[in-house]
Amino acid sequence: QDFKTMRFLLSAPHLSALPSDGAPEIAFAGRSNAGKSSAINTLCQQKALARTSKTPGRTQAINFFDNGYLRFADLPGYGFARVPPKVKAQWGALIEGYLAKRDALAGIVLIMDARRPLLDFDQQMIHWGGEYGLSFHLLLTKADKLSRNQQVNTLREAEKAVEGASVSLFSATKGLGVDDARAAIGALLPD
Ligand code: GDP
């Protein structure tokens, strides 16, 4: 899999703004600051693909990227403590609505900081994914921050915690696990 030709398609702040289903779609989810933008940019070999589309005030939008035969949906991050309840509710409605109705959605890449995986946000995503029968790949990023032993333990724990999900270690800064991640994304796609 080579995602170099991925280009920004559009930013959907509401369910009504979603593009119609097209190529098979992979959704990227993760807590704010988990390293989701960095992972998308690294996977696509582009410096600012995920970041450039993050226009201020649009952080609650789903950003779509497309290369003609595959689509990435960058789901809004979550986790900053001081988000007003109304915004949290809107965020939940957008994400759950998206997961519930997206026919082209082939799977979810859940990006987690390898030092603190499977927090509340992550559990919520896994719960919703289970409800809608979606497959997961768990991407444990910032793996460069862990020792080899810690990496192995985190990997094992994540594998045990989420039935049926694939798991891999990743580092955007060190370029670690990039090919594994690409292969795992490929495995989520229909034959
Ligand atoms: P997002 O909010 O999930 O999109 O997170 P970003 O990709 O913007 O990354 C959040 C912070 O973590 C930034 O300061 C990044 O430089 C840093 N970061 C992202 N990926 C890695 C990684 O693999 N290793 C390390 N050490 N830092 C990373």
Q: What is the pLDDT of residues 137-148, one digit of tens each?
A: 999 999 999 999
Q: How many angstroms is it from 30 CA to the middle of ligand 1?
A: 11
User: Can you read off the two tokens belonging to residue 135?
Assistant: 């497959």
Q: How many CB atoms lie within 10 A of CB 128?
A: 18
Complex prediction ipTM: 0.99
Query: Which atom of ligand 1 has the smallest separation from the CA of 41?
Result: 7
Q: What's the CA gap between 169 and 114, in Å, rounded?
A: 8
- Asked if 112 and 82 touch (Cβ cutoff 8 Å), the reply is no
pLDDT (tens digit per residue) in 93-116:
999 999 999 999 999 999 999 999
Q: Where along the chain do its domains lie?
A: 7-188
Q: What's the CA gap between 160 and 19, in Å, rounded?
A: 36
Q: What's the CA gap between 17 and 19, in Å, rounded?
A: 6
Mean pLDDT of 153-163: 95
Looking at domain 7-188, its CATH architecture is: 3-Layer(aba) Sandwich (3.40)
pTM: 0.95
Mutate to test the pocket of ligand 1, among 32, 37, 38 (most ligand atoms within 8 A of CB): 38
Which of 22-26, 56-60, 112-116 is the least confident region? 56-60
Backbone angles phi, psi at 65, to 5 degrees: -125, 150
Does the CA dihedral 117-136-125-77 come out positive or negative? positive
User: Can you read off the two tokens belonging to residue 65?
Assistant: 């990227």
